[in-house]
Amino acid sequence: MNRLDRMLEEKRREFNNLQAPDSLEEKLRAALQEKKPRRKLPLNRIAAMLLIGAILTYNSSTLAYYGKQLVGYDTVMDGTLLQLSRMGEGQIIDKNHLFSDGLEVQLDVAMLDGNGLVFFYTIEDTTKSKDINDVHVQVLPDIPFMNAGSSGAGEIMEEDHMQKWVFTTDEPPPFFIRTVTLELSHMKEDGSAEYGEISFRLDRNKAVGETVRMNINREVELAGRTMTIEDISMSPISTVVKGEIQDLISLGIDRARNEYRMPHNMEMSLYADGIEIERKGAGMSTDMKGTRFDVRFDALPKDTKDLRLELDSVSVHERLDMELEIAEGETLEVRGNEIFINSIEESDGRTYITITTEQGTRIPEVRLNADGNYHQLLETSESTYEKKQDEAILNTRTLEFDGSGEDMKLSVTDIRYTKDYNLTVYEESIK
C-alpha cells in the first residue's frame, strides 16, 4: 500500500540552502580597502569562508544533536526510536532548567507525529555530590486543551551523575498549539519542593513523517455493554488502536443506578505479515466524551502487506449487590462467571469455604451472611492451580470468615474477571 510506503520512506532535509547576501561583496571590498592586508586573498575565497562560518554557527545545535545530545539514550529507546534518531529525525530543543541545588534538566530533542509527542531529556547533578539514584524530578507536559497520559523509560548513569529519560504522550498536541511547556517538580534533599519549566516553540515542519488512520468501527459485546473499536493509526513511531468503552449517556445511567462496570485491562495482538508487533502499552480514560481506550504497538515494518488485529481478552471490574445461597457441590453464577463450592467447614466459630473459579475471576469484596448476621472476610488461603484439557486454568482457594451459622449466603459486592475473545476484529491486505 503506497500510502504506508510514503509514510515510512519520507525524510526531511536537515540543512537549509544558505545564500550570501547580495551586499556581502561590497561590504568586504570596503573593509579591505580600509587596511591593506599583508596577504591578499581572492574575494570569492573570503566570501566562501564567511559563508561556511555562518553555516556552522547557524547549525551548531544540529551538530551537537548528532555529536552529543543523544549519546546515552540508546538503552532507553526502542528499536524504532533508535533508528529514527540515527536518521536525524526530530526537532532539536537544547533548553534547560537549573534548580537552586545544582540539579539540571536538559531537554534535548522532541519527536512529533500523529500519534504523540516524544521527549528526550537528561537530569544531571552538576555538583556531583548527590546520589543520582535518589534524585527524582517529575516532568509533565502542560499543553492547552490536551489531557493525555504519558509513558516512558529511563536509565541511571551513576558515573556521570545523570539520568537519561524518554517519554511519550498518548496523543499529539492540537493542531493550533504552537508552544509546548514541560512542568518540572523537584523534591530536594531537605524535603522542600522546587518547581520550574521548559518551554519551546513546536516546529510542525519537523514532524516525523505522515500518519495514516484507518476506520475499523467494530462493535463487541462486553459485560452487558457495547464496546466499539473505532480506528487504527499508523505512524513512523507507533501504531495505535483507539475506541470507546462507554458513551457519556450510558455512563450517566450507570452512575444514576449506582452501578460500576469498567474494564481495567485489554489485551490485543497486532500482526504484520503474520509477525506479531510488539505491544507498548494501553490506557483508559473517562471524560466528557465517555470512557475511551487506546492500545499502543510499535511501528509497522516497511512494506507491510497484510495487517491483522485481534482482541484477545478484556479484564473487567464490576460492582454489584448479590446474595447467593451456598451448598457444597453447587455452582454459583455471577455475571457469567462460575464459582464452584468445593466445601463448607466450621471450626472455632469460624467458617471456611473452599471455592474454585477460572484463573482470572476474583471476588475481593465478599461477606458471609449467616442467619442474617454479616461476617467479614478474614483471610484467603494461597491458591492452587489446575490446567484443564481445554487449556483453561482453574484457581482453588479457601475463604475464612469470622462467624458461622445454619442458613448461610455469600454477599458479593465486587467481582473482577477476564473474558476471553480470541476474535479477529480487523484484517486488511495492503496493496
In sign, the C-alpha dihedral spanning 275, 278, 284, 288 is: negative
Q: Which residues contact 372 (CB under 8 A, 6 or more apart)?
A: 407
Measured distance CA(231)–CA(234) in Å, rounded: 10
| pLDDT at 263 (0 to 100) | 80
Extents of the domains making up the chain: 2-58, 63-206, 212-318+421-429, 320-416
Mind listing the pLDDT tens digit for each residue in 301-346?
988 999 999 999 988 888 888 999 999 999 999 988 999 999 999 9
Q: Are the CB atoms for 132 and 164 separated by under 8 Å?
A: no
Q: Which CATH number, 1.10.3210, 3.60.60, 3.30.1050, 2.60.40, labels domain 212-318+421-429?
A: 2.60.40
Residues found in the chain? 431
Check residue 252 and report its DSSP letter.
H
To the nearest whole number, what is the mean pLDDT of the chain? Answer: 82
Measured distance CA(418)–CA(222) in Å, rounded: 11
Burial of residue 82, with CB atoms counted within 10 A of its CB: 0-12 exposed, 13-18 middle, 19 or more buried: middle
Measured distance CA(383)–CA(385) in Å, rounded: 7
Q: Which residues contact 152 (CB under 8 A, 6 or more apart)?
A: 165, 166, 167, 168
Element (H, E) at 31: helix 24-34
| pLDDT at 145 (0 to 100) | 80
What do you get for the CA distance between the two ends of the chain, in Å? 4
Does the pLDDT value for residue 430 go beyond 80?
no
Check residue 239 and report its DSSP letter.
E
In percent, the amount of the chain with pLDDT more than 90 equals: 51
| pLDDT at 372 (0 to 100) | 93
What is the pLDDT averaged over residues 128-145?
91
How distant, in Å, are the alpha carbons of 26, 38, 43, 50, 294 from that of 34?
13, 13, 15, 19, 69
What is the pLDDT averaged over residues 410-420?
91
Q: Are the CB atoms for 89 and 183 separated by under 8 Å?
A: no
Stronger pLDDT, 7 or 416, i.e. the higher one: 416
What is the CA angle 134-137-143, rounded to 5?
Answer: 165
Stronger pLDDT, 320 or 199, i.e. the higher one: 199
In percent, the amount of the chain with pLDDT more than 70 equals: 81
Measured distance CA(211)–CA(223) in Å, rounded: 33
Check residue 362 and report its DSSP letter.
B
Mind listing the pLDDT tens digit for each residue in 223-260?
677 889 999 999 999 999 999 988 887 777 777 776 67
Does the pLDDT value for residue 360 go beyond 90?
no
Measured distance CA(44)–CA(386) in Å, rounded: 85
Can 63-206 and 212-318+421-429 be said to share one CATH topology? Answer: yes
| pLDDT at 65 (0 to 100) | 41
- Integer-rounded Cα radius of gyration of the chain: 30
Q: Count the helix, strand and coil residues of the chain and give each as a percent rounded to the nearest 5.
A: 15, 50, 30
| pLDDT at 221 (0 to 100) | 85
pTM: 0.72
Q: Give the three-state DSSP class for 212.
A: strand
Measured distance CA(419)–CA(314) in Å, rounded: 5
Stronger pLDDT, 219 or 41, i.e. the higher one: 219
Question: Lowest-pLDDT range, 23-37, 47-61, 90-104, 269-283?
Answer: 47-61
Question: Lowest-pLDDT range, 235-244, 281-290, 413-422?
Answer: 281-290
Measured distance CA(203)–CA(129) in Å, rounded: 37
| pLDDT at 25 (0 to 100) | 43
| pLDDT at 401 (0 to 100) | 96
| pLDDT at 71 (0 to 100) | 54
Measured distance CA(304)–CA(430) in Å, rounded: 7
| pLDDT at 72 (0 to 100) | 64
Q: Where are the beta strands (DSSP E) in 252-349?
A: 260-272, 275-276, 279-287, 290-298, 306-325, 331-334, 337-347
Measured distance CA(294)–CA(284) in Å, rounded: 7
Chain-centroid distance, C-alpha 71? 23
| pLDDT at 271 (0 to 100) | 97
Mind listing the pLDDT tens digit for each residue in 8-20?
444 334 333 434 4
Mind listing the pLDDT tens digit for each residue in 48-80?
444 434 433 334 343 334 433 455 677 677 778
pLDDT-derived band at 39 (thresholds 50, 70, 90) equals: very low
> What is 63-206's CATH topology?
Immunoglobulin-like (2.60.40)
pLDDT-derived band at 209 (thresholds 50, 70, 90) equals: confident
